[in-house]
Structure 1
């Protein structure tokens, strides 16, 4: 169990690592290692309030014989520091530095010493920073290296200390040595790189030397469908082999890591096979269940592709089926799956402190018009976010109508498929309001929330209510996220005690993105939204912690491609309904745009190349 947790943790798959910790704690609820690692997963994913609650619930502050448990409280303070800016940043950095210094006094360890040094430097106090940096270098930490991870952190701490003392040459050579101690611990490398980038910025030093040590880059892939043979929409064996060779070269040249995309016949499968051969993790994101996708986008091009499709699926780390549709209903559904795959790659890159990449097999920009969906559309979306892209020239002549045509937009008279970002919200504990106070509750609690909805700069395109619940639908996830945060703040501003209402009342907000059917409600005789994705949004609301905004993975991934004003923090894999599969849920969190934790790398310093 521990080995599996460390494997996923080191690869930056914090969601899976956290879930495995929770599985282990079911059998061993007092296991300190599992408790500490679970809290660390939450901190690394940005779920700071939940990390603080878990730290308190596990009573890790009472563990006196373990330096990691002692330091995790200071680590929480450091994470909160990185979500602030200006005067508040300096104040919090100083508080975190003092906490680390206290741990160092207790244990004499290099880890709290180097963090005390760095946080003092970030707080604008170079004197104490240099004192603790020298403790790291000359404090007698030369014992046996122990595990590869312990050896890594020892040498990485020394590299950080050299940097704080202005010895850039020693910092560079020591950091390279640290990475060799634990070469596959990409998450640890990312944490170090993120901190060193902050420090070189404060010290006014060159940061380009850090680029060569970046973890493998999370990548979104896409490419044109093709069959095997000759003619439009087909490649002969020689053309496919040459394409595979170029893909293979690009994977190496651009330091590609986990890949995310669909698995249609042709380019998708060629890229996936090459990535697996390189040892890259494969994550498959499909708009429909596997059999439906295979029937539409794989089988029509030959049984050989079916066998290769199934072989890739067997080796995939994750397969996401976004809907239960029995056919691909629209271009929007295809774009939805692509957007989620792109967002997952970008979210993973944020965790690993590196720049995401997109690998396309397509014509050069401007050679073909961008369609409403498919590879060229995906390329436009990615490029529109300012993210790095590598294009490999498609070696054949593309079939203008690959596979089966998409159905007409109207599947049933009066109905049409649309993509909507949906919010469900209700007041937890409202049943505690005495009956005679219900009108007062409606006027003083529900009415301000309704007023907030009316005042949104981008109002909902659909709204409904019942009792203490509301349902809002928006055209984009960014609109929905801003609305959710506005409603959360509006509720926080309501003083229940002054209104003589139960102080236990709490607002729960849930968000989900997906394709739904828009048509007339037979009872209310007005437009409404229908479908399984509406039910998903409603069920998420039922498991949301009062005071929080919980969203689906699809919502979080799409938001990662459209806004830097929010962070989606992993909550866990939760069964939202007895008849539904488990869903990975995230807590939505608004961040100041200039916060240190909100700095993203959109491009690598490695030169972009295309063939």
Structure 2
């Protein structure tokens, strides 16, 4: 039975896929209610499966539900999503279609939401005069009495958008300030408004720097040495950097020394601490906390208890491979960038550094070098100390060259298992043949390929190459005329992706190259949870893409995988091209 409160709670927490599963199961069980259908399609839209969401919107009868305000608003939003992702005549056509739906919503149900979105879509469609006229009507609407909190916020934010559309940036700034004062901690709501205004800045050619004062606190990645420097002086410098940089959220490890000092300072300032550990908890304490003084362990435990979240790059014990520490730091950096994007704010790295470049793959200097590749801000607290002792890191030539960082894709076609035997040849030639053509045409092809039935396993050296391959495969599949091939129209390509260290070996049975390891399993566990016609990626892959390639691809949080066969649920993100 469809539990409305449970589903609403899941959506508020961002667990979109779990909410969709409940709604979809209710529909499959024969529960026929517009609210259930609306919930299912809303979840698909938020999960980035826009094409599938539009098809389901029609199939489930929501396109004809003109007396259901949420259904009308959802239909307008789906058309808006298509318009903003398109160019040329297609963009204009979908913008006008979305505008009509928003106007219908406003006429029938009132409120500012439909009216201000209609004004915005008029601008997207190229009608600046029409946008200004509609925005003026929004501003002429009397405020709703008694609004508080987020209700008051959205009313004022809509008016700020309208002021911007008529060209009065000063009034937009003043109204937006009043909006945020009514709900100062509603960061998700703020981010939605900021993204909308950023889009309007692109449409009008206005410099978006005017939005800077309204952005939430910064998201930081912190890194530092295990150091015995006087704590009071270092803590004061850390406090000052956190304050000057307006850091409210931070991601990093929790080793003895600078890491724990960063964490304690952030928590004392009221910020959110997110811990990313490279190995199992007990092993991390044994290697990176306990050996450096008996008082570090209780401080570590206190910070861990107050952390908002704890992630593990690996649950394995430490076996001497420093690659896991490098991977953990990169994972934490990616998490900081993703959170900054979600909040529509900036990501920054904070480092306590002694000026020495470590010889191995991990450490403060390696973290800084990786971060600098993103061209984001870096705040360094320089410390003086003697040259470090010879590192425990093995020389690069001594490391196992059969272990490497790779980006992986698993793909399959939903509905393949229900095909008749006489449809298999058409599937192999038409569907799998198109996949082969697409892979062969990639500018950066995979370094490893495996396939079975409708399944595909592709391995790439770089995260961006995997992302572009996934998008190319999805786009190629959408162009297929499945009906002409004699195949069901519901055959939907699903792609799951991950990034992490893997083992490069030779299969003893086939003598062929093999890519194996725990991180391959992570990639495989994502694919069954993907909505048809979509690509979802792990937090590690999404973070790497966001850190370096935000101008080419976008990754939006959609929820968590279902925990299966003892594997924990993990965060996943939808993959799309950047607008």
Q: TM-score, normalised by structure 2?
A: 0.86
* Contact persistence 2:48–2:534 (CA under 8 A): no
Contact kept, 8 Å, 1:330 with 1:407, in 2: the verdict is: no
Give, in angstroms, the shift of residue 57 of structure 1: 8.9
Out of 93, 96, 118, the position equivalent to 1:94 is: 96
Tell me the residue number matched to 1:273: 264
Distance 1:458 1:172, change over 3 A: closer
* Residue 252 of structure 2 is aligned to residue 261 of structure 1: yes
For residue 131 of structure 1, the aligned residue among 114, 130, 133 is 133
Aligned to 1:381: 370
How far off is 1:37 after superposition? 8.7
1:581, CA displacement in angstroms? 1.1
| 1:569 alignment partner in structure 2 | 556
Q: Do the aligned partners of 1:543 and 1:576 also contact (CA within 8 Å) in 2?
A: no
- The alpha-carbon deviation at position 184 of structure 1 amounts to 0.4
Output the CA distance in 2 between the equivalents of 1:206 and 1:349: 20
Are the structure 2 counterparts of residues 407 and 65 from structure 1 closer, same or farther at C-alpha, using a change threshold of 3 Å?
farther
Alignment of 1:516-531 (within 5 A): 516-531=502-517
State how far apart, in whole Å, the 2-side matches of 1:5 and 1:551 are: 24
Higher mean C-alpha displacement, 104-113 vs 328-337: 328-337
Q: Is the 8 A contact 1:262 1:286 kept in 2?
A: yes
Distance 2:139 2:49 in 1: 33
Aligned residue number for residue 542 of structure 1? 528
Match of 1:560 among 526, 546, 553: 546
1 CA distance for matches of 2:546 and 2:119? 33
Deviation at 1:8, TM superposition (A): 10
Partner of 2:219: 218
Evaluate the alpha carbon distance shift between residue 260 and residue 32 of structure 1 in structure 2; reply closer, same or farther with a 3 A threshold. Answer: farther
Alignment counterpart, residue 290 of structure 1, candidates 281, 296, 312: 281
1:29-61 per-residue CA deviation (whole Å, 9 max, x = no partner) reads 999999989977775675545665787799777
**Gap runs ≥5 in structure 1:** 227-233, 596-611
In the alignment, structure 1 residue 162 sits paired with structure 2 residue 163: yes
CA distance in 2, matches of 1:566, 1:521: 34
1:158-557 pair list within 5 angstroms: 158-203=159-204, 205=206, 207-226=208-227, 234-235=228-229, 239-327=230-318, 329-363=320-354, 368=357, 372-397=361-386, 399-401=388-390, 405=393, 416-435=402-421, 438=424, 441-557=427-543
SS at match of 2:295: helix
Could you tell me how far 1:566 is from its partner in structure 2? 2.1
- When residues 38 and 458 of structure 1 are mapped into structure 2, their CA distance, relative to the original with a 3 A threshold, is same
Change (3 A) 1:68 1:555: same
How many aligned positions are there?
Answer: 572
**Distance in 1 (alpha carbons) for counterparts of 2:570 and 2:344:** 26
Deviates more, 1:31-40 or 1:95-104: 31-40
Change (3 A) 1:194 1:87: same
**CA 1:578/1:411 → structure 2, altered by over 3 Å: closer, same or farther?**
farther
Q: Distance in 2 between matches of 1:273 and 1:33?
A: 46
Partner of 1:581: 568
Corresponding residue number in structure 2 for 1:141: 143
After the TM superposition, which residues 592-611 of structure 1 pair with which residues of structure 2 at under 5 Å, given as runs?
Answer: 595=579
Contact 2:250 2:273 (8 Å CA) reproduced: yes
* Alignment CA distance shift 1:220-1:87 (3 Å): farther
Q: Deviations over 1:449-490 (max 9, x none)?
A: 334434433232222233443322211221222222333344
Query: Residue 112 of structure 1 aligns with which residue?
Result: 114
Distance 1:179 1:44, change over 3 A: farther
For 1:582, what is the secondary structure of its paired residue?
coil
Partner residue, 1:15: 14
Structure 2 stretches lacking a partner, 5+ long: none
Rounded to whole Å, the distance in 1 between the matches of 2:342 and 2:524 is 29
- Give the whole-Å Cα distance in 2 for the aligned partners of 1:359 and 1:210: 24
- Name the CA shift for 1:45/1:543 in 2 (closer, same or farther; >3 Å): closer
What is the CA-CA distance between 1:369 and the residue it aligns to? 6.5
Counterpart Cα distance in 1 of 2:480 and 2:75: 32
Deviation string for 1:95-142 (max 9, x for gaps)?
A: 333322222212331222222223323333233323322222222224
Distance in 2 (CA, whole Å) between partners of 1:512 and 1:190 is: 27
Question: How far 1:420 sits from its partner (Å)?
Answer: 1.7
Measure the CA separation in 2 of the matches of 1:126 and 1:571.
34
Tell me which moved more, 174-183 or 300-309: 300-309
Distance in 1, matches of 2:452 and 2:481, equals 23
Contact 1:18 1:38 in 2 (8 A): no
Contact (CA 8 Å) 2:152, 2:182: kept in 1 or not? yes
| The 10-residue stretch of structure 1 (210-219 or 156-165) with the greater mean CA deviation from structure 2 | 156-165
Structure-1 separation of matches of 2:430 and 2:22: 43
The offset of 1:180, in angstroms, is: 0.6
1:34 and 1:141 mapped to 2: Cα distance? 32
Q: Taking structure 1 as reference, are residues 540 and 155 closer, same or farther at Cα in structure 2, changes over 3 Å only?
A: closer
Deviation at 1:2, TM superposition (A): 8.2
Q: 1:335/1:64 Cα in 2 relative to 1: closer, same or farther (>3 Å)?
A: same
Q: What does the per-residue CA deviation read over 1:569-609, in whole Å, with 9 as the maximum and x for residues that have no partner?
A: 33321225322111222332234xxx2xxxxxxxxxxxxxx
The farther-off stretch of 481-490 and 152-161 is 481-490
1:602 maps to which residue?
Answer: none
- In 1, Cα distance between the equivalents of 2:10 and 2:412? 39
